Amino acid sequence: MAKVIYGTDGIKQKDYRIYVGLSDNSTLQSAIDTYVASPTQTNLNALIDTQGGQLDTKLQEFGECRADSIDMSIADGDSVDGNVLGKIVLNKAGTFTAELLNATPENIAAIELLDGRNCTILMLERDTHIVNGIANKTAILMNGFNLSYTEKITGSDSIRSTITIEKSVPSAGSFRIIADLSQA
């Protein structure tokens, strides 16, 4: 079993920036493999497009999201009742959702191109948190999942565009890779 560390060092409420890209390209997958082998801020930066317009080879920032709409969760999936051990969980259900607030016609057209496609999503902590005196950012990477797009148009409100991924996976680690990245 992995070591569990006790204490309150680094605990705080976190807000995330969301990055999205198409998974089905070798350039992005190569950069993801490098990041997974060595999760550093430098390797993570290689995944993110800072120039605009490289959605097919890098991750682009999704935009201004409603902060409390950003949700990544892992829950028990299918299970069976055993006669000796009790409930036996067969898999996990991983989900991610984020709601874009600035859903302009141009933004909607770009997001619609992702609907039903194999995508990579990155949640990157907006601010840093301190652990053992070192500034860190939490990064959560979800790679190679089918993305679903929905929108909601309500009077007296802005258009809300939502992206979602849902997948049954064998373990939490097969849905997401989570790391604290030193900012030093």
pLDDT in tens, 104-118: 888 888 889 999 999
3-state secondary structure 47-86: CECCCCCCCCCCEEECCCECHHHCEEEEEECCEEECCCCC
pLDDT at 38: 96
pLDDT class of 54 with cuts at 50, 70, 90: low
Each residue of 57-68: pLDDT tens digit? 789 888 889 899
- Residue 69 CA: distances (Å) to CA of 1, 72, 161: 33, 10, 11
Query: Which pLDDT does position 178 carry in this prediction?
Result: 95
Q: Residues with Cβ < 8 Å from 32, sequence gap 6 or more? A: 47, 120, 141, 143
C-alpha span between 68 and 165 (Å, rounded): 17
Average pLDDT over residues 120-125: 96
Q: Does the pLDDT of residue 7 top 80, yes or no?
A: no
What does residue 62 show for φ and ψ, rounded to 5 degrees? Answer: -70, -35
Token couple for 134: 């070192």
Does an H or E element contain 162, and which? strand 160-169
Per-residue pLDDT band at 102 (split at 50, 70, 90):
confident
* pLDDT surpasses 80 at 168: yes
Q: Which of 41-50, 75-84, 115-124 has the highest mean pLDDT?
A: 115-124
Q: b/e map of 56-79 (b: 16 or more CB within 10 Å)?
A: eebbbbbbebeeeebebebeeeee
C-alpha to C-alpha distance for 142 and 103, rounded to whole angstroms: 23
